[in-house]
């Protein structure tokens, strides 16, 4: 009886196993047929992470993924695009229309911005990655040297701002269709300072006088918590510094590091002087920057379009009377901000590279689409005609654009990670008074050289 | 018919639990459980076998068979395993495997530049190489098919007037006489034997079209998009026989060395590929000048930080537990509930709030006190701040533990000591504390091991800062080994150095494991009191 009982049990288990297995097993395989494309555009909420503050998007190499989240699995579609939460709704209708026109299925998957790069490194080679990603140009160094992106051939490259095309190129090869240019500029409180200062010296005098008289609390709101080479870069270049020298072909030469060059050290000394005069405030975080300028407690700020557009405390929302203009020069030397370019790139492991290339070079690169992307997302377009159209209706865009004309693309070489790290430390040491400018920059240059040699 | 069921039907008046009833409750749950396990395994095998993940396949087969055997057998030896098996399997899958995998990664060169396997790397090196052989010849193109099923491209050379139409196949290009070309508006609909495909049709042949190369005298014509084709020539060519890469322009030969194709002068082609480099990463950790620089300082602070956090957290927790243990205290429950708060909030959130409060110029602490204390910018103050925050996060845990442990120690023991003439503190030190330590010593060790790697507090409070002036590599006064590793591995000169990070992680793991094992042995002796 015992034996019979056991057999009965095994049969039941086997039957249930088969039943369960057949229920769970039908979600793999079948690719979507071209015919039923109408209903297959989907957004997968692969990731529900709180949106990092808008500033983070311009901040390179900081805040690597803090918590590992569940892996993103490639959606089942002919053309798969990875975009972040702010861009997904913008791209989706365009991608959908492209899919419908061509009878293919399209999926836009939402992935947190910083994670697009990290996830592509694991998912791409495993064949589970997307065909198209949205990305920042300073990812190119890592992604291209790791062999994760396919070159892009853009016939109408001439329609785009040259700095954007330059930024999207790595070692002479174009790797993406640029769509937005972002850079920082000077924001001036018109109520406190009616006339634009012509030079940084003048700006310093005006700002310090206003603090002296009690009309303002912070002379120049530029974030430095504890140090911030990205936001300090225009001050550094205006004082005569450069980051990397250029090879004859225009590419960057990592062996020619400018931090401890003559100009670099002079800029460091100038930075120290500004710290001592009180123009620059230590431990000034992004939050303090946006709140002090937004509430009229700072006559000047150096920041980007994200601080203008932020929902509750952005400068548009607080109603502060401001203008956006280029950062003034110092002793005749132009202040050059870093320019960040965002665009569409094609994975080297794309399942359908031809659709991906067709989509980004023939759809996303047109003036209409670039203008539509601006309408929906508010980021200044990389397409020249679309930019001019946008700037005509928006003085902020025009101001940031003018500031960007002086700018240079943020370097994309993989060694930038170590540059940000060491350089941030150097600024922190100057601001806390722990090191002199020259000492801090000499040490930072030494650290960067060591790290590059180690790598 | 089964005797059992006969009984069940015959004596259906409920004098004893029916056999069928027994079956439905206990066995049915078991059957359902095992069926689910087996079904999940079959599903997982279906996913893993095509991918060739044989280690995973082996693990699933072994564990499924083990589960089935152990839960179905009636043998006595299997009883303990019925309790141990699930935990053991989870331990292997989520603890042992990651350690083994990390150890494996630490012997490779995985990181920026060395992510792909060699074949993909070769393909990438070639396909991204451009040079003067890249011509500017491009065509308006459409994918096309002939009646006999050959794929081809209809190419329109727009540089000639009128535009000439060509058909390209794997064999080569042929010009099509204009009378054989049918237009649909501006676009060519068919040329000669070939009819243009709609994109939906082309989608079915996407892979073939992407790989289609049309040989011409100038180079190979490939489709760039579905409406454009261009002649491409690659500067680098791979020779399988010699396993070398040759620059056809300059004649420079690149040979595979250490995961990259390198020329004799040392220049290398990217991307490289992942290779096994043995103990090279460990050698680097232990001998590199740059890493050794701040390493000792980081290491000493790491120990001090973990030990001080546990000591302070335990002391504060114990003190509060004793105070709240007083029988006359009113509102005990309220206090206890309030004291759990720092523990109940997500630690990252707490740390970020502390960071804001401790900001030297704008933080609420300095604004209220007007002290201007450099909480986070002075090396020693920053270390103190870290300890304040980590103690804040640790004490509720020890408060909870010691409250429970104190209540389980019989009051008679310390009362007896008092009767024998011991003072209050003496009785506590010599009777209560040793008994308490027996209960909490393993938790102290666990807390030490946790805090030794407490990345959250260090990184989110101050990013390891303030920086150490003049360090060989960027390092901060409050960096611990993990946060220092994080800098070295993810802000390295190469980009991201995952293999190197793995090597340091393994060293930290060994270190903490040895220390924990040693202290567990020590405390085992405590229990003999």
Query: What's the pLDDT score for residue B303?
Result: 94
> Which pLDDT band, with edges at 50, 70 and 90, does A10 fall under?
low
Q: Are residues B439 and B316 in the same domain?
A: yes
Task: State how far the Cα of B301 lies from the Cα of B310, in Å rounded to an integer.
Answer: 14
In a domain, B193, yes or no: yes
Longest pairwise C-alpha distance within chain A: 101
Angle, helices A395-405 vs A384-392, to 10°: value is: 130
Q: What is the pTM of this model?
A: 0.81
Give me the pLDDT at residue A51, please. 35
Lowest mean pLDDT among A19-28, B170-179, B356-365, B399-408: A19-28
* B30 and B166 co-located in one domain: no
Q: What is the mean pLDDT of residues A220-236?
A: 94
Question: What is the spatial distance between Cα B477 and Cα B465, in angstroms, rounded to a whole number?
Answer: 6
**B378 and B505 housed in the same domain:** yes
A64 interfacial to chain B (CB closer than 8 Å): yes
Q: What percent of chain A has pLDDT over 70?
A: 84
pLDDT of residue A34: 34
State pLDDT tens for residues B354-368. 999 998 888 889 889
Instruction: Find which of A156, A354, A366, A428 to mutate to test the B interface (most B CBs within 10 Å of its CB).
Output: A354
* Highest mean pLDDT, choosing among A96-100, A298-302, B442-446: A298-302
Kindly state whether A435 is in contact with chain B, defined as any CB-CB distance less than 8 angstroms.
yes
Instruction: Look at residue B326 and tell me whether its pLDDT is greater than 80.
Output: no
Q: Residue A69 above 80 pLDDT?
A: no
- Same domain, residue pair B73 and B167: no
Residues 2-31 of chain B whose Cβ lies under 8 A from any Cβ of chain A: 2-4, 27, 31
- In this structure, of A71-80, B34-43, B72-81, the range with the lowest mean pLDDT score is A71-80
Q: How many domains does chain B have?
A: 3
Does one domain contain both B87 and B154? Answer: no
Interface contact A125-B209, CB threshold 8 A: no
**pLDDT tens-digit series, residues A248-289:** 877 788 889 999 999 999 999 999 999 999 999 999 999 999
- pLDDT value at A293 more than 90: yes
Residues B480 and B399 in one domain: yes
> Are A284 and B362 within 8 A, CB to CB?
yes
Say yes or no: B274 contacts chain A, CB-CB below 8 A.
no
- Domain assignment present for B164: yes
Over the stretch B108-134, which tens digit does the pLDDT of each residue have?
Answer: 999 888 989 999 999 889 888 865 444
pLDDT at residue A71 tops 80: no
Q: Which of residues 177-216 of A touch B (CB under 8 A)?
A: none
| Beta-strand relationship, A177-183 and A338-347 | antiparallel
In terms of average pLDDT, the best of A17-26, B115-124, B125-134, B488-497 is B115-124
Residues A233-255 as b/e (b if ≥16 CB within 10 A, e otherwise) read bbbbbbbbbbbbeeeeeeebebe
Which residues of B, range 464-493, sit inside 8 Å of A by Cβ?
465-467, 469-474, 476, 486-487, 490-493
**Does some domain include residue B123?**
no
ipTM for the complex?
Answer: 0.80
**Lowest model confidence (mean pLDDT) among A16-20, B168-172, B506-510:** A16-20
CA distance A102 to chain B (A): 5
| Mean pLDDT of all residues belonging to chain A | 84
The reported pLDDT for the residue numbered B19 is 52
Cβ separation of A142 and B210 shorter than 8 Å? no
Q: Which of A37, A142, A285 sits opposite B112 (nearest CB)?
A: A142
Does B203 sit within 8 Å of A145, measured CB to CB?
no
Kindly state whether residues B100 and B140 are assigned to the same domain.
no
Predicted local confidence at residue A277, as pLDDT: 95
Q: Give domain status of residue B114, yes or no.
A: no
Q: Percent of chain A, pLDDT > 90?
A: 57
Domain containing residue B72: 21-105
- Mean pLDDT across A403-425: 91
Residue B16 structure tokens: 């004893």
Helix H or strand E segment including B287: helix B280-287
With left for phi above 0 and alpha for psi between -120 and 50, is residue A301 left, alpha or beta? beta
For residue B377, which of A295, A65, A432, A261 has the smallest C-alpha distance? A432
Give the C-alpha separation, B154 to B147, whole Å. 14
In a domain, B474, yes or no: yes
Q: So what's the pLDDT on residue A241?
A: 94
Instruction: Tell whether A25 lies on the interface with B, counting CB pairs under 8 A.
Output: yes
Q: Decide if A443 touches B, using CB distance below 8 A.
A: yes
pLDDT > 90? residue A341: yes
B519 torsion bin: left (phi>0), alpha (psi -120 to 50), beta (else) = alpha
Q: Is the pLDDT of residue A327 over 90?
A: yes
Q: Does A33 have pLDDT greater than 80?
A: no
User: Tens digit of pLDDT for each residue in B24-65?
Assistant: 777 888 888 899 999 999 998 988 888 778 888 998 999 999
Q: Cα(A194)–Cα(A192) distance, rounded to whole angstroms?
A: 6
Residue B121 in any domain: the answer is: no
pLDDT at position B23: 60
Q: What is the mean pLDDT of residues A184-199?
A: 95
Q: What is the pLDDT of residues A146-185, one digit of tens each?
A: 999 999 988 888 999 988 999 999 888 899 999 999 999 9
Work out whether the CA dihedral B228, B233, B235, B239 comes out positive or negative: positive
Of the pLDDT bands very low, low, confident and very high (cuts 50, 70, 90), residue A143 is: very high
pLDDT for B145 equals 87
Q: What is the pLDDT of residue A239?
A: 94
Residues B375 and B478 in one domain: yes
Distances (CA, A) of B406 to A93, B342, B413, B414, B528: 64, 22, 12, 11, 19
Cα–Cα separations (whole angstroms), residue A370 to A162, A392, A404, B124, B256:
16, 15, 18, 30, 43
B184-198, B309-323, B480-494 — which one is most confidently predicted on average?
B309-323
pLDDT on residue A427 = 96
Q: How far apart are CA B220 and CA B170, in angstroms?
A: 10
Q: Give which of A17, A78, A101, A280 to mutate to test B binding, by max B Cβ within 10 Å.
A: A17
A428 to B465: CB separation less than 8 angstroms, yes or no: yes
pLDDT at A37: 36
Give me the pLDDT at residue B15, please: 47
Average pLDDT, chain B: 85
State residue A56's pLDDT score: 38
Q: Are residues B71 and B141 in the same domain?
A: no
What pLDDT shows up at residue A315?
Answer: 92
User: Are A283 and B376 an interchain contact pair (Cβ–Cβ within 8 Å)?
Assistant: yes
Among A21, A34, A362, whose Cβ lies nearest the Cβ of B200?
A: A34
Does the pLDDT value for residue B71 go beyond 90?
no
Contacting B residues, span 204-243, partner chain A, CB-CB under 8 Å: 204, 206, 209-210, 223-228, 230
Whichever domain contains B408, its CATH number is 1.10.3720.10
Query: What are the structural domain ranges in chain A?
Result: 37-57+69-182+340-409, 183-338+411-454
Higher pLDDT among residues A66 and A13, named by residue: A13
**Same domain (yes/no): B484, B348:** yes
Instruction: Give the sign of the dihedral formed by CA B8, CA B9, CA B11, CA B14.
Output: positive
Q: Is B258 on the interface with A (CB under 8 A)?
A: no
Is B478 a residue whose pLDDT tops 80?
yes
Protein fold of A183-338+411-454: D-Maltodextrin-Binding Protein; domain 2 (3.40.190)
Asked if domains A37-57+69-182+340-409 and A183-338+411-454 share a fold, the reply is yes
The matching CATH number, chosen from 3.40.50.300, 3.40.190.10, 1.10.390.10, 1.10.1380.10, for A37-57+69-182+340-409 is 3.40.190.10
- Judge whether residue B5 has pLDDT over 60: no
Do residues A369 and A97 make contact, with C-beta atoms less than 8 angstroms apart? no
Round to whole Å and give the CA distance between A318 and A320. 6
Beta bridge pairs of residue A83 = A110
Whether residue B6 is contained in a domain is answered as: no
B65 contact A CB<8A = no
Q: Is the dihedral of CA B439, B445, B451, B453 positive or negative?
A: negative
Structure tokens at B230: 């261009």
Q: How confident is the model at residue A40 (pLDDT cuts 50, 70, 90)?
A: very low
């Amino acid at each position: 009886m015992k034996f019979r009982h056991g057999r009965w049990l095994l049969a039941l288990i086997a039957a249930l196993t088969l039943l369960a297995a057949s229920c769970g097993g039908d979600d793999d395989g079948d690719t979507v047929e071209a015919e039923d494309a109408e209903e297959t555009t989907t957004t997968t909420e692969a990731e529900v992470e709180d949106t990092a503050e808008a500033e983070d998007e311009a901040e390179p190499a900081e805040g690597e993924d803090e918590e590992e989240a569940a892996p993103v699995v490639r959606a089942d579609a002919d053309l798969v695009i990875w975009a972040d939460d702010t861009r997904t709704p913008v791209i989706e209708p365009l991608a959908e229309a492209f899919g419908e026109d061509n009878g293919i299925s399209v999926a836009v998957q939402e992935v947190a911005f910083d994670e697009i790069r990290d996830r592509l490194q694991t998912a791409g080679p495993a064949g589970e990655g997307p065909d198209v990603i949205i990305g920042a140009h300073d990812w190119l160094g890592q992604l291209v040297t790791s062999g994760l992106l396919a070159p892009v051939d853009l016939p109408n490259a001439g329609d785009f701002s040259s700095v954007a095309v330059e930024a999207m190129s790595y070692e002479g090869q174009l790797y993406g269709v640029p769509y937005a240019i972002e850079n920082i500029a000077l924001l001036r409180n018109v109520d406190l300072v009616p006339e634009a200062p012509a030079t940084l010296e003048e700006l310093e005098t005006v700002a310090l006088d206003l603090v002296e008289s009690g009309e303002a609390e912070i002379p120049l709101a530029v974030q430095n918590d504890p140090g911030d080479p990205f936001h300090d870069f225009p001050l550094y270049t205006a004082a005569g510094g450069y980051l990397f020298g250029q090879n004859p072909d225009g590419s960057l030469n990592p062996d020619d590091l400018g931090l401890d060059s003559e100009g670099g050290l002079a800029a460091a000394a100038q930075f120290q002087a500004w710290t001592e005069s009180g123009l620059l405030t230590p431990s000034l975080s992004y939050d303090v920057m946006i709140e002090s300028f937004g509430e009229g407690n700072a006559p000047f700020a150096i920041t980007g379009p994200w601080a203008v557009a932020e929902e509750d405390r952005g400068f548009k929302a607080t109603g502060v009377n401001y203008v956006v203009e280029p950062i003034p020069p110092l002793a005749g030397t132009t202040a050059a901000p870093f320019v960040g370019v965002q665009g569409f790139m094609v994975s080297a492991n794309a399942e359908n590279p031809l659709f991906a290339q067709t989509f980004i070079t023939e759809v996303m690169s047109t003036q209409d689409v670039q203008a539509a992307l601006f309408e929906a997302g508010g980021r200044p377009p990389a397409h020249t005609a679309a930019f001019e159209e946008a700037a005509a209706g928006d003085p902020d865009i025009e101001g940031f654009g003018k500031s960007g004309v002086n700018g240079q693309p943020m370097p994309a070489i993989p060694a930038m990670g170590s540059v940000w790290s060491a350089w941030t430390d150097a600024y922190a040491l100057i601001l806390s008074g722990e090191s002199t400018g020259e000492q801090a920059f000499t040490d930072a240059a030494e650290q960067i050289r060591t790290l590059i040699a180690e790598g | 018919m089964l005797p059992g069921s006969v009984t069940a039907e015959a004596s259906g008046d409920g004098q004893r639990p029916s056999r069928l009833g027994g079956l439905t409750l206990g066995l049915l749950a078991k059957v359902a459980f095992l069926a689910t396990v087996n079904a999940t395994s079959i599903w997982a095998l279906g996913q893993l076998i095509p991918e060739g993940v044989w280690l995973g396949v082996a693990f699933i087969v072994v564990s499924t068979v083990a589960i089935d055997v152990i839960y179905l057998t009636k043998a006595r030896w299997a009883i303990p395993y019925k309790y141990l098996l699930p935990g053991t399997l989870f331990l292997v899958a989520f603890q042992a495997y990651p350690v083994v995998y990390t150890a494996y990664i630490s012997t490779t060169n995985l990181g920026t530049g060395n992510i792909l396997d060699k074949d993909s790397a070769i393909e990438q090196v070639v396909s991204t190489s451009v040079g003067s052989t890249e011509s500017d010849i491009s065509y308006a193109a459409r994918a096309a098919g002939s009646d006999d099923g050959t794929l081809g491209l209809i190419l329109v050379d727009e540089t000639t007037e009128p535009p000439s139409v060509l058909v390209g196949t794997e064999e080569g290009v042929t010009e099509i006489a204009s009378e054989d070309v049918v237009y649909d508006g501006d676009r060519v609909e068919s040329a000669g034997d070939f009819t243009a495909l709609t994109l939906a049709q082309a989608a079915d042949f996407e892979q073939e079209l992407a790989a289609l190369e049309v040989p011409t005298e100038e180079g190979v014509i490939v489709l760039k998009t579905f409406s454009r084709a261009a002649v491409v020539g690659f500067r680098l060519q791979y020779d399988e026989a010699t396993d070398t890469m040759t620059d056809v322009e300059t004649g420079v030969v690149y040979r595979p060395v250490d995961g990259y194709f390198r020329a004799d002068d040392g220049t290398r082609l990217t991307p490289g590929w992942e290779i096994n480099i043995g103990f090279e990463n460990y050698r680097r950790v232990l001998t590199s000048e740059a890493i050794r620089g701040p390493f000792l300082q980081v290491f000493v602070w790491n120990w001090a930080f973990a030990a001080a956090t546990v000591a302070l957290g335990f002391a504060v927790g114990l003190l509060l537990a004793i105070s709240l243990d007083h029988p006359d205290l009113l509102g005990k429950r309220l206090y206890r509930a309030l004291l759990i708060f720092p523990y109940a909030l997500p630690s990252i959130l707490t740390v970020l709030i502390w960071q804001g409060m401790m900001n030297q110029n704008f933080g609420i602490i300095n604004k209220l006190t007007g002290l201007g204390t450099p909480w986070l910018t002075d090396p020693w103050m920053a270390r103190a701040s870290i300890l304040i925050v980590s103690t804040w996060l640790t004490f509720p845990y020890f408060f909870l533990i010691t409250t429970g442990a104190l209540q389980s120690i019989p009051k008679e023991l310390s009362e007896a000591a008092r009767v024998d003439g011991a003072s209050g503190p003496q009785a506590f030190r010599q009777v209560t504390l040793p008994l308490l330590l027996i209960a909490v010593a393993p938790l102290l060790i666990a807390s030490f091991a946790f805090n030794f790697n407490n990345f959250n507090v260090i990184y989110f409070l101050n990013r390891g800062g303030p920086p150490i002036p003049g360090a060989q590599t960027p390092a901060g006064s409050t960096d611990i080994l993990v946060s220092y590793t994080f800098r070295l591995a993810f802000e390295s000169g190469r980009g991201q150095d995952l293999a190197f990070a793995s090597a340091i992680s393994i060293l930290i793991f060994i270190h903490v494991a040895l220390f924990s094992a040693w202290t567990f042995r020590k405390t085992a002796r405590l229990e003999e009191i």
